[in-house]
Amino acid sequence: MTPSLTPEQLKVVLQEADLLKSRDEVEAALDSMAAAITEKLADSMPVVFSIMNGGLVVAGQLLTRLNFPLEQGYMHATRYRGEVTAQADLQWQAMPTVPMEGRTVLIVDDIFDEGYTLQAVVEACKAQGATEVLTAVLVDKQHDRKAPGMAVDFAGLEVEDRYVFGYGMDYRGFWRNAPGIYAVKGL
């Protein structure tokens, strides 16, 4: 696939973006998340799944901070966005890679925006026999459009309701690797 933006245009997006959270703030949030997760899960030998693609970056940063035995896997799930399909319908692009029956599961993702996909993933894990399913996200976007009854167990940072990218979150497929959390200028 040919990118619709040039490298120069993408550099401008980053240069003009508003820095919401610096690298140091993100790193401190990851440390805090790791401490809370360790306190909760240190004796449970959980399986930790990152949700592709954004959760990969967060999990990579978070897992090395967890000092207890765990298994690691990944999954890639999206919701159908058609008008006829219900919000809870999930399309698996990569099924969970480690069996979870009878296990404590921790789902790691980049952002908790509306939460419908994350909610569907949690339900799918329970349906596959997980005894407990917890969620961890780097960013909790603040707005009133959350899936009813959905909350995350561990969140590193809160950000305003803007188009954000960096540390796993993307701008049109790019800048997941940005060294902070940015908001697109004007959005």
Q: What is the pLDDT of residue 82?
A: 46
- Domain annotation covers residue 98: yes
Is 9 among the domain residues? no
Residue 67 lies in a domain: yes
How many separate domains does the chain show?
A: 1
User: Does any domain span residue 10?
Assistant: no
The per-residue pLDDT for 83 is 43
Domain extent, residue 49, equals 15-77+87-183
d(CA 179, CA 111): 16
| 114 closest CA partner among 86, 141, 84 | 141
Within a domain: 40: yes
Let me know if residue 3 belongs to a domain: no
The 10 Å Cβ neighbour count of residue 143 is: 11
CATH number of the domain to which 59 belongs: 3.40.50.2020
pLDDT at 66: 97
pLDDT at 92: 77
Average pLDDT per block of 10 residues along the chain, 187 residues long: 80 96 98 98 96 91 96 81 51 83 96 90 93 97 92 97 95 94 92
Contacts with 143 (C-beta within 8 Å, 6 or more apart), sequence order: 161
Per the listing, tokens 């167990």 go with 153
Percent of the chain surpassing pLDDT 70:
93
Q: Residues 49, 106: contact at Cβ < 8 Å? A: yes
Nearest to 12 by CA among 159, 172, 161, 158: 172
Question: Is 7 part of any domain?
Answer: no
Residue 1 lies in a domain: no
